[in-house]
Structure 1
Amino acid sequence: MGHLTPTTLRTIDISLSGDNHSAKTPRPVHTYTTYDDIRGHVAISALTPTPFSRVEIFLLGTTRTAHTDHTVPVIAEPQVTHIFLRMAMPIPPSAYPPPSGSSNTYLLNPGCPLHIPFHFVVPARLLPHACRHEHSSASVPEAHTQLPPSLGSFLLPRDDLTFEVANISYSIYAKLLAPSPTSKPSKILSSAIRKFHVVPASEEAPPLLVLKESQYVLSKSKTMRKGMFRGKLGTLTLTTTQPRAFSLPPPRTCGPLVPFALTDLTLTLRFDPTDPSCAPPRLGALSAWIRATTVHSINPASRIPDQELQGSPYDSHSRAFKTYVALAAQDVPAAAAPLWRVVPAPKYARTDSGYSTAWSLSPTPSPNSSPTPLAASTGPLVSVSAASASGDVDEVDEKKPYYTTIALRLVLAPSRTWIPTFHSCFVSRFYTLVLELVVHPPGATMPFMLSLEVPVQVIGQGREGMKEAFVAGGRAGSVGMGEGGDMRGLGGVWDRYVAGGGESVDAYGGCGGEEMGQGDELLPAYVAPDFTRRRRRGR
């Protein structure tokens, strides 16, 4: 947005490609993903002749967290600000008006605004020194150098299930600097900032290894009784595995992200009767929620907090904020097979740490179908099929177990803004599926409930062909940046921009992929991340 300095009446306005320049409509909130081009220009004007030395344009990624839980009253909470990404746009001298006096001083005249284009590329990773703190394993810096998504609300209402004490923002920052005859830092005459959203592309990680002390529950058993003082009916066991990730489509460049992300999940039930006369129970309502956990800290995280260990899962400087959202099942058919089948007991036990395979049991959703909530009913809103160790179903025999499978297709609610699973130095976001199945034992008046807590990922998709186009275009090698921000080779680029009326520029201020780790020459400037911690004073 434009900023006005009252004392000197200097204005800086930052425009992004795709902006509607009509004064009657507000500017859109742009959303980018990995390898997307961020194009625009900075317009600087003044009402009085203003000498200046240079203009600086940056792409910034900033994390802000606060510590709000205190045992004693305090005036203000401690906060931390961490700049994890800083990319500078190279600006050659030909972009400025003719020098006025000394070779490093230019004059901004009234009625002659200065238009400077910029072009960044959303990187795929951060440089290795973006995570320089102590860590417990090699997986921590690997996760912390992934580009984190935007987190927190700004410009538009956007419910991304985040508390206000944690915020990750991306912005274009432009500033006009005054001439400085000494070695002291130049004074900022005027500055402006333009924020936007970033939803980076991410890859699906292997299934999480659930530790013994973890709060995740992938299997739950319950002994059923005929009554409080009557005999046992048998044991019912509910089991599942971690499903495939919810995959978010590439975001729209302008406007809110409206995802259509789904995953398939298989629930396996086994009933071991006490004697052959004990019938399996009737299944009632099945409910599904997704829990979004946001962990934030004022100290860098030394481990990845996705296990939610029992007891005290986080250190004294970390806090977790949890939000539950009900999920919906799509195209859930009626039961096409008997609810329970009697099958031979397996000759061996198999522990599967992989993904759920419900997609082979559930039909493909129709594009015109609408989500149906998992509400309470006389029977479960699921598709049921028999799971057997062999292809044939035997006759009822003594104490043979009953098996059944429930295939679910779960869809993320479009009323929320979903962001990918990520872990950064100060903020993490991960998800958990919470499943609750009501069971009605035969002859009992009170039902009981079996519940599971299953880890699940949310990942972002990149735009098809963007990475290949980035590598094939040779962008990293088209602009060679030497020591101290050498601008050689960029003069012709800016000349083409001026001759073309300012519609395009081929100066790349971004980097991406594995090329980032090969050397800083791929960036016009890439400043090592830093963070500052402060405690506000009382008024």
Structure 2
Amino acid sequence: MASHVSDQASIRYASSVVASQSTMSNVRHSLLTQKPHITITLKGEREGQKPPYAFSTRDKIEGEVTIVPQHDVRFDDIFITFEGVVRVWTENTGPSMATARSEVRRMFLKMTQPIDESSLPVPRIALKGMQYTFPFSFIVPDQLLDSHCGHILQNDVVRQAHLQLPPTMGTGKAVNHDGSLELDDVTPDMAKIRYGIKVRITRKREVDNKQVIIVEEQRNIHVTPAYAEAPPPMDDNTFVFKKQKEIRKGIFKGKLGRLIVQADPPRPMEAKSHDGAHRASTTVSLNLTFIPADDSAEPPKLGSVTTKLKYRTFYSTKSINVIPQRKSHLSDPYMGQYQETITLSSRALNGIRWRRRRPADAEHDSTYGSRRGSDVSDSASTSSFSTAADGPLTYHTEILVPASQPENKALPPTFQSCHVGRQYELDISLSVEAGSRLNTSFNLKLPLQVTAVGRHNLAAEMEAEELPAFEEFFRPRSIAPPPQSQSRRHSRLPSFADSMLEEPAQLPAHMLSNSANMAPPPGYGLPGGGRMLNMT
């Protein structure tokens, strides 16, 4: 009997729990459905036009906000803003093996759209079923305000970099408003940069007069600002522009010669922010020099060349005061680094023609990066190789290696902001078939810069804006003395009579009517007679 009563109590308790959960779900659904419905539409979308993939510097972002209340809503203000936000988090493991997570969220850009007061209802009550439309128009600025970056920096170069707008990053494979997928920009979850149009409807709470948000809605906007080519980064022995090795004929055979592989820094990849289908590309020139051990030695056979692109992202929960390098995160506990390498291409080198030349000394080439980052497998000098009366015999060839943006991957420009930065590296591996099982490879690591351009030619527009002031500064000005007649006129001090006879229009009308009867002050005389001033 007791067990039967206990079972019934359990059933009633379970039923009450289910009923309370259902009630809470209904209340939550009711609250959500009662909120005003907000739609953010970009210009041209209602006519079936597709918005641009990304907005760039000085692009105009236009559209309208439509608000349809589900019931009568009392409000005080409506805010339409264009915002940029960065969010970074890191996890640090302390001596006690406890993991501490630090996070920062910072709004670096906020532009507010003024709203015409006459378009708001009076009193401030949005009626159920009514449609309220508010237009907006924003222009992507050239740079951020100076107040955005107020922390201590290493130099002005870092400050100028921090005042540039950072590009959208960390969207992953997010779905766009039109249903298309965002390209993966190879950014970790620890770093995100977002732009968006945000709408907030607020009301002051009667209890404490505090502004509370009734409802808010945001539409993400992809922004890729224009970035011009910048000076090359400082080298912390990360980059390798030149490598040289001795090539042997076989395992137990003598030396074939020395092969030197050298590359110049490649031109930047230029991305087009307004064209999502555009693939940025560049070309690397490999200069090969072979110094044979004797005149009978032929250059080795080249195997293949493989190109890889390395994405490197720096992020920190504290403001970064330098341009980070590859090992910067090792000395900063608040900084993290994420890198990912993607193979671009691999092709066999067939039909490479060598040019025979004498004399030459590629060992002392003075081009950029000839010594820095070189890797010599044997310290023997070139004097051990073949020499003749007119100098050593050398072979030369050049290989052009193309590099293009990976498919289905975004390529944000190279930048550095207060909390997030992006750098790129191009790794080139050249294999050489020296002999049976004696293949060797030459690995070069080159800095690669990615720039971005938009619809506007910023250089031409800035020149047009500065040209009037420039021309005004250099406009010819007359510094000659006044004309001779004017000089004679002012050869003596003007008198009261001169002002009356020569410039009567300077006097008011009521004084001009009596000018003939006006007598000069004592001590002065009129022309043609009268008493003159006694100077004795």
Same fold, TM-score > 0.5, yes or no: yes
- Give the counterpart letter for 2:190 in structure 1: V
In the other structure, the counterpart of 1:411 is 404
1:39 paired with 2:57, answer no
SS of equivalent residue, structure 1 residue 221: strand
| Structure 2 Cα separation of the partners of residues 315 and 57 of structure 1 | 39
In the other structure, the counterpart of 1:167 is 192
Deviation for aligned residue 1:469: 7.4
Contact between 2:304 and 2:346, CA under 8 Å: does it hold in 1?
Answer: no
Count residues with an aligned counterpart.
Answer: 414
Contact between 1:274 and 1:399, CA under 8 Å: does it hold in 2?
Answer: no
| Structure 2 Cα separation of the partners of residues 179 and 312 of structure 1 | 46
Contact between 2:279 and 2:405, CA under 8 Å: does it hold in 1?
Answer: yes
1:429 paired with 2:452, answer no
Q: Structure 1, unaligned stretches of length 5 or more?
A: 101-105, 355-393, 474-539
1:352 paired with 2:367, answer yes
- Give the counterpart letter for 2:132 in structure 1: L
Q: 1:126 aligns with which of 129, 139, 144?
A: 144
SS of equivalent residue, structure 1 residue 32: coil
| Structure 1 Cα separation of the partners of residues 127 and 463 of structure 2 | 41
Q: 1:141 aligns with which of 135, 141, 159?
A: 159
Pick closer, same or farther for the CA change 1:343–1:433 going to 2, 3 Å.
Answer: farther
Pick closer, same or farther for the CA change 1:272–1:69 going to 2, 3 Å.
Answer: farther
1:327 paired with 2:327, answer no
Identity of aligned residues (%): 30
Q: 1:87 aligns with which of 106, 111, 114?
A: 111
SS of equivalent residue, structure 1 residue 290: strand
1:460 paired with 2:452, answer yes
Contact between 1:266 and 1:407, CA under 8 Å: does it hold in 2?
Answer: yes
Deviation for aligned residue 1:248: 1.0
Pick closer, same or farther for the CA change 1:223–1:42 going to 2, 3 Å.
Answer: same
Question: CA-atom RMSD, angstroms?
Answer: 3.5
Contact between 2:92 and 2:333, CA under 8 Å: does it hold in 1?
Answer: no
Pick closer, same or farther for the CA change 1:109–1:440 going to 2, 3 Å.
Answer: same
Contact between 1:170 and 1:198, CA under 8 Å: does it hold in 2?
Answer: yes
Deviation for aligned residue 1:287: 0.5
* Dislocated runs of 4+, deviation >6 Å: 394-398, 466-473
Contact between 2:42 and 2:51, CA under 8 Å: does it hold in 1?
Answer: no
1:6 paired with 2:65, answer no
Pick closer, same or farther for the CA change 1:312–1:351 going to 2, 3 Å.
Answer: farther
Deviates more, 1:414-423 or 1:338-347: 338-347
| Structure 1 Cα separation of the partners of residues 358 and 200 of structure 2 | 73
1:447 paired with 2:427, answer no
| Structure 2 Cα separation of the partners of residues 193 and 467 of structure 1 | 33
SS of equivalent residue, structure 1 residue 198: coil
SS of equivalent residue, structure 2 residue 402: strand
In the other structure, the counterpart of 1:68 is 91
After superposition, the C-alpha distances for 1:11-36 in whole angstroms (9 at most, x for unaligned) are 222222243589xx9x9785211111
- Give the counterpart letter for 1:341 in structure 2: R
Deviation for aligned residue 1:467: 8.1
| Structure 1 Cα separation of the partners of residues 287 and 92 of structure 2 | 41
Tell me: higher relative CO, structure 1 or 2? Use CA pairs within 8 A at least 6 residues apart: 1
Q: 1:400 aligns with which of 362, 385, 393?
A: 393
1:192 paired with 2:217, answer yes
SS of equivalent residue, structure 1 residue 129: helix
In the other structure, the counterpart of 2:202 is 177
The two structures have a TM-score, normalised by structure 1, of: 0.69
The residue correspondences of 1:517-536 to structure 2 (distance < 5 A) are: none
After superposition, the C-alpha distances for 1:401-460 in whole angstroms (9 at most, x for unaligned) are 22211122222223211111111111111111000000112x443201000000011111
- Give the counterpart letter for 1:234 in structure 2: G
In the other structure, the counterpart of 1:266 is 285
Contact between 1:47 and 1:110, CA under 8 Å: does it hold in 2?
Answer: yes
| Structure 2 Cα separation of the partners of residues 278 and 456 of structure 1 | 36
After superposition, the C-alpha distances for 1:114-139 in whole angstroms (9 at most, x for unaligned) are 21111101112111121122222221
Pick closer, same or farther for the CA change 1:19–1:70 going to 2, 3 Å.
Answer: farther
- Give the counterpart letter for 2:357 in structure 1: V
| Structure 1 Cα separation of the partners of residues 319 and 274 of structure 2 | 30
| Structure 2 Cα separation of the partners of residues 227 and 333 of structure 1 | 22
SS of equivalent residue, structure 2 residue 284: strand
Contact between 2:92 and 2:100, CA under 8 Å: does it hold in 1?
Answer: no
Contact between 2:315 and 2:420, CA under 8 Å: does it hold in 1?
Answer: yes
Q: Structure 2, unaligned stretches of length 5 or more?
A: 1-28, 176-180, 370-386, 466-536
In the other structure, the counterpart of 1:516 is none
Contact between 2:53 and 2:273, CA under 8 Å: does it hold in 1?
Answer: no
SS of equivalent residue, structure 1 residue 62: strand
Pick closer, same or farther for the CA change 1:304–1:184 going to 2, 3 Å.
Answer: farther
SS of equivalent residue, structure 2 residue 319: coil
- Give the counterpart letter for 1:96 in structure 2: L
| Structure 2 Cα separation of the partners of residues 247 and 396 of structure 1 | 49
Contact between 2:284 and 2:401, CA under 8 Å: does it hold in 1?
Answer: yes
| Structure 1 Cα separation of the partners of residues 417 and 267 of structure 2 | 22
- Give the counterpart letter for 1:131 in structure 2: C
In the other structure, the counterpart of 2:319 is 300
In the other structure, the counterpart of 1:236 is 259
Pick closer, same or farther for the CA change 1:278–1:319 going to 2, 3 Å.
Answer: same
Deviation for aligned residue 1:5: 4.9
1:201 paired with 2:216, answer no
Pick closer, same or farther for the CA change 1:121–1:290 going to 2, 3 Å.
Answer: same
Contact between 2:354 and 2:395, CA under 8 Å: does it hold in 1?
Answer: no
Contact between 1:250 and 1:460, CA under 8 Å: does it hold in 2?
Answer: yes
Contact between 1:61 and 1:169, CA under 8 Å: does it hold in 2?
Answer: yes
Pick closer, same or farther for the CA change 1:329–1:130 going to 2, 3 Å.
Answer: farther
| Structure 2 Cα separation of the partners of residues 188 and 91 of structure 1 | 18
Pick closer, same or farther for the CA change 1:396–1:119 going to 2, 3 Å.
Answer: farther
Contact between 1:178 and 1:188, CA under 8 Å: does it hold in 2?
Answer: yes
After superposition, the C-alpha distances for 1:141-171 in whole angstroms (9 at most, x for unaligned) are 1111111110012333531111111111101
1:112 paired with 2:112, answer no
The residue correspondences of 1:285-296 to structure 2 (distance < 5 A) are: 285-296=304-315
| Structure 1 Cα separation of the partners of residues 46 and 458 of structure 2 | 25
After superposition, the C-alpha distances for 1:313-332 in whole angstroms (9 at most, x for unaligned) are 552211111111222489x9
SS of equivalent residue, structure 2 residue 159: helix
After superposition, the C-alpha distances for 1:472-502 in whole angstroms (9 at most, x for unaligned) are 89xxxxxxxxxxxxxxxxxxxxxxxxxxxxx
Pick closer, same or farther for the CA change 1:288–1:30 going to 2, 3 Å.
Answer: closer
| Structure 2 Cα separation of the partners of residues 466 and 204 of structure 1 | 13
Deviates more, 1:260-269 or 1:3-12: 3-12
| Structure 1 Cα separation of the partners of residues 225 and 392 of structure 2 | 53
**Higher fraction of helix:** 2
- Give the counterpart letter for 2:146 in structure 1: P
SS of equivalent residue, structure 2 residue 222: strand
Contact between 2:195 and 2:220, CA under 8 Å: does it hold in 1?
Answer: yes
Pick closer, same or farther for the CA change 1:328–1:16 going to 2, 3 Å.
Answer: same
1:217 paired with 2:243, answer no
Pick closer, same or farther for the CA change 1:347–1:168 going to 2, 3 Å.
Answer: closer
